[in-house]
Amino acid sequence: MPIRKLREFLDSHAVRYFVVSHSPAYTAQEIAASAHVPGKELAKTVIVTIAGKLAMVVLPASRQLDFELLRGVTGTGEVQLASEKEFVDLFPECEIGAMPPFGNLYGMEVYVSEELEEDDEIAFNAGAHTELLRLSYEHYKRLVHPKVAKLSRAAVK
């Protein structure tokens, strides 16, 4: 089942969501294929540090984070990918790499790629490499209050 903290949060806000179970998958492309979710609707979570503080960046699975764009949005050159060691303790109920994009539940700022705004629904890891949650993008945005900006570029194949 999805992580309790997230389910309780969504339930307390009367948000309708769906659980999608799939065979174990670890990369965004594998997850999209396994769960039969279009890559542009699958939101992946990338943990970064911005001026020494952890933050979440949420992108379509088919895209890669453009660090120069994120530096421009944040107004600092101090932006880098966080190491697992830096954030593993923040998500004790999650498998590494399966954190849901709800940084607000963990005291983190959240930045969302503007491309996700084109989707009626988004799907994302729900704490395990075998489960996704699908919900309305508008509900997600209302609950998380992310900073939306151009943050990504086409994934390198």
| Greater model confidence, 97 or 38 | 97
For residue 140, the model assigns a pLDDT of 97
How far is the C-alpha of 70 from the C-alpha of 77, rounded, in Å? 9
Residue 1 has pLDDT above 50, yes or no: no
Task: Specify whether the CB–CB gap between 105 and 6 falls below 8 A.
Answer: yes
As to burial, measured by CB atoms within 10 angstroms (0-12 exposed, 13-18 middle, 19+ buried), residue 77 is: exposed
Q: What's the predicted TM-score (pTM) here?
A: 0.90
Average confidence (pLDDT) over 142-156: 90
β partners of residue 53? 50
Confidence of residue 156 (pLDDT cuts 50, 70, 90): low
Return d(Cα 135, Cα 150) in angstroms, integer. 22
Higher per-residue confidence, 33 vs 53: 53
pLDDT (tens digit, 9 = 90+) per residue, 64-87?
999 999 999 999 999 999 999 999
Q: What is the pLDDT of residue 2?
A: 53
Domain spans of the chain, in order of start: 4-154
132-151 average pLDDT score: 96
Q: Which CATH superfamily is domain 4-154 in?
A: YbaK/aminoacyl-tRNA synthetase-associated domain (3.90.960.10)
CB 125 within 8 A of CB 86: no
Average pLDDT, integer, range 95-99: 88
Read off φ and ψ for residue 10, nearest 5 degrees: -65, -45
Closest alpha carbon to 155 in 38, 64, 70: 64
| Contact in structure between 153 and 64 (CB atoms under 8 Å) | yes
- Report the pLDDT value the prediction gives residue 40, as an integer from 0 to 100: 75
Instruction: Pull the structure tokens for residue 45.
Output: 């979570």
- pLDDT > 90? residue 31: no
